[in-house]
Amino acid sequence: MAARSNKPDETAPAATVRPQEYSAGTGWEVGQTAPEDAFRALDAAGTGGPTGPVVHTHPGGYARQIVTKGALITAGVRRELDEAEQDGGA
């Protein structure tokens, strides 16, 4: 006769359920997806400083691309957009 064990059957540990992660949607806030490209012209005087408003198509000449359509809005992107607004450009 086989001896019986009082230990419960050893089974695999319960599955860990990860919380569902949702994107923050589309928009211009940190964590969201950029709805379109954002550019800012650079100073033509040669200093290379950003000038003028944020535009959504390349303004021609020298320009900085702040973010591309579909990219994540980071704190740095939001800061550049805010600086453009403060400069009266956005």
Mean pLDDT, residues 26-53 taken together: 90
Task: Name which of 89, 86, 68 is nearest 77 in CA terms.
Answer: 68
pLDDT in the model for residue 20: 73
pLDDT in the model for residue 6: 65
Provide the strand spans (E) within the chain: 38-42, 50-55, 63-67
d(CA 73, CA 33): 6
Count the helices and strands in the chain (H runs, E runs).
1, 3
Phi, psi of 65 (to 5 degrees): -90, 120
Where is pLDDT greater, at 47 or 51? 51
Where is pLDDT greater, at 19 or 4? 19
